[in-house]
Amino acid sequence: MAKKQEKGTTSAAISIPDKLIDQVIGQDNAVRIIKKAAKQRRNVLLIGDPGIGKTMLAQAMAELLPATELEDILVYRNQNDENQPVIKSVKTYPTQEAFNAGGDGQGRHEVQKARMNNRIPFSSSGSIVTPIIIAIVIIIIGLSFSGLIKGYDLIVLSALLLGIMVFGSAALFVGTMTRRGGFPGIGLMDEPKLIVDNSNRKSAPFIDSTGARAGSLFGDVRHDPLQTGGLGTPAHLRVEGGSIHKANHGVLFIDEIASMDPRSQQEILTAMQEKRYPITGQSEMSSGALVRTEPVPCDFILVAAGNLQDITRMHPALRSRIRGYGYEVYMESTMPDTKRNRELLGQFVAQEIKKDKKIPDFDGSAIEEIIEEAKRRSGRKGRLSLVLRDLGGLVRAAGDIAVEEGKKTVTKVEVVKAKVLADSIETQVVRSTVENIKDYKVFVNRGYKVGRVNGLAVLGGSITASGIILPIVAEVTPASSKYEGKFIPTGKLGKIASEAVKNVSAIIKKHMGKDVSNFDMHVQFLQTYQGVEGDSASISVAISILSAMENLPIDQNIAMTGSLSIRGEVLPVGGVTSKVEAAVSAGIRKVLIPASNVGDVYLSKDSLKKVKIIPAKSFADVIRASIKKSKKRDAIIKELISSQR
């Protein structure tokens, strides 16, 4: 365990644990299960957001497994059936002494032994041919000097001598090389092939097969274009081991498990059940499809990973196998903001510096700024983000800036600069979009307007989300149908957003006593080319319709976000920090958010000076904060409050 850190401790003074499992940050429950699963050899399914340490946990599990039980796997020629090669497994290191010494494993020794047996000494391989050739050469030379052969006969004799010497040399060369396996398909080729080699390995294998094709995952038999005339390569020499075989007695890690096709998931399940899986050619058009080895050992622990939405696309039998013979773990994306956890984030910074090997150490102020950024990115009060891959990118970006500027230590200044350099694509798009809409005055941040409000939204996923201003305009007209009014939202709304917008009519009808059947309510989300999803624009839509219906002007220097229940309650939403930051960037001075989200807002001191946060518990609070004060406004608020009692 790392020793306790004092405030202001530099990364150079932070000790890093030796074991990988102790370097995992903030996933205490997952760590406990991984340790238990490694001891009992159980499969594990890890579910959670990208970048929170799923791969690292799988690697740590492999480190916990014993390496003394590893096996090398060889494939031999089958003299009785060429298309069914024989499989043999041997312990890589038969004794503890051999394991400690390291070096070539038993599998390599088997191959070397077979190779030496096929290398017949020159004197042995030529024991018959050589004496005959020498005797013929001596006789021919003797005849040429005896005077018995003259003229043209002497030329013929010389040619015969040369031919015998060339033939003899070729015969000796071919005889030696074929016994060494030098020419494919010629002579003896019984030398085994080592398809799983664990030599010099001091820990159990960790095989990452994320995105692997069938051949890489389950093994393959290479195609042989020379299949006739004895010129082809024997089947056993064309066999290639797969990831499931190389992970024997180790960990097979597959991220985004649901992206695998159902057939591959079924084959993984079969391999898990049988712990042995034969290798065959994966292409039906290849000669390798004719070959099928004996079952090959594949006693691996499966660590599968994915996101929450992936579970429904997993093969039911595969997931059942994991649950029945292992554990399912939902990993945390945030952790409590405690002193101990802040120390762990300092340890994380030190680990990233050591891993990168190209950036200088961080001083105390730089580490504190990384921790503050983790707090901001969590999006929740009293929490720290565990999306450490993204934080690692910020660490490296700050380090690169320090290297570029010739500094030996990274300070808070470089981290602040790196926040801009390491912005996500979504943030960069938003920055560009805001500048464009400012130039063309798509949104207004001064004065009062009827039926127009500045909503707030986020662009991107939960990890790379960036806030954006969402201008909304509404118009209420007499109903085009004499039977009913229509609610007409436009602006590329998603399913949830469309349903949330339609709920607004219930608020208007129930709490304001308006007969909405007499009106067509048009709501437009301006220039939302990227689309709108979620219900966080509910209060913005409701206030814009109310403004248009009652001709009440809305303060344009206020932006708002919040979900609205059909009972008029303002409910919490996500991404409030990013949304408030977007409002600040747009020059808006007041932001209305759900009261329950107030503690989730985390802004820099400079941003806090530029904006006023207004909490709202009910739709009446929204009206009071955003609509220009008037007797009509106050009457509506009074009516709303009385109807909610």
Instruction: Let me know if 125 is a catalytic residue.
Output: no
Per the residue annotation, which of 536, 544, 563, 626 is the catalytic one?
Answer: 536
Domain 54-102+192-329, architecture per CATH? 3-Layer(aba) Sandwich (3.40)
The pLDDT tens digits for 309-345 are 888 889 999 999 999 999 999 999 999 999 999 999 9
* Residue spans per domain, the chain: 54-102+192-329, 122-179, 335-421, 441-643
Q: 209, 579, 585, 626: which one is catalytic? A: 579
**For residue 78, what are the contacts with CB-CB under 8 A and spacing of at least 6?**
84, 85, 86, 236
**391 membership: H or E segment, kind and range:** helix 388-404
Low-confidence ranges of the chain (pLDDT < 50): 1-3, 122-126, 179-188, 229
Query: What topology is assigned to 441-643 in CATH?
Result: Ribosomal Protein S5; domain 2 (3.30.230)
Nearest one of 345, 464, 463, 352 to 399, comparing CA atoms: 352
- Order of all β-strands in the sheet with 43-47: 206-208, 251-254, 301-306, 43-47, 326-330
Q: In this predicted model, what pLDDT tens digit does every residue of 140-173 receive, in sequence order? A: 667 666 666 666 666 676 777 677 777 767 766 6
* Model pTM score: 0.77
Give the pLDDT confidence score for residue 181 in this predicted structure.
44
- CA atoms within 13 A of residue 565's CA, in its CB half-sphere: 11
Q: d(Cα 584, Cα 588) in Å, to the nearest integer?
A: 6
Per-residue pLDDT, 147: 65
- Count of residues making up the chain: 645
Nearest Cα to Cα of residue 58 among 245, 410, 432, 326: 326
Q: Which CATH number describes the domain made up of 335-421?
A: 1.10.8.60
pLDDT at 534: 62
The token duo for 481 is 């149908």
Nearest to 456 by CA among 339, 365, 548, 584: 584
The confidence score (pLDDT) of residue 538 equals: 83
Asked if domains 54-102+192-329 and 335-421 share a fold, the reply is: no
Tokens in use for 626?
């955003």
Q: How far is CA 404 from CA 358, 386, 400, in A?
A: 12, 28, 6
Within 13 Å of residue 121, how many CA atoms lie on the same side as its CB?
Answer: 3
* φ, ψ dihedrals at 553, nearest 5°: -75, 145
Q: What angle do CA 452, 445, 578 make, to 5 degrees?
A: 95
* Residue located via tokens 């926040």: 419
Q: Which amino acid is at 613?
A: I
Q: How much is the pLDDT for 146? A: 66
Distance CA 281, CA 210 (A): 21
Integer angstrom CA distances of residue 144 from 134, 139, 154, 158: 15, 9, 7, 8
Cα separation, 626 vs 20, whole angstroms: 53
Whether 378 sits among the annotated catalytic residues: the reply is no
The pair of three-digit structure tokens given for residue 76, joined into one six-digit string: 């031999």
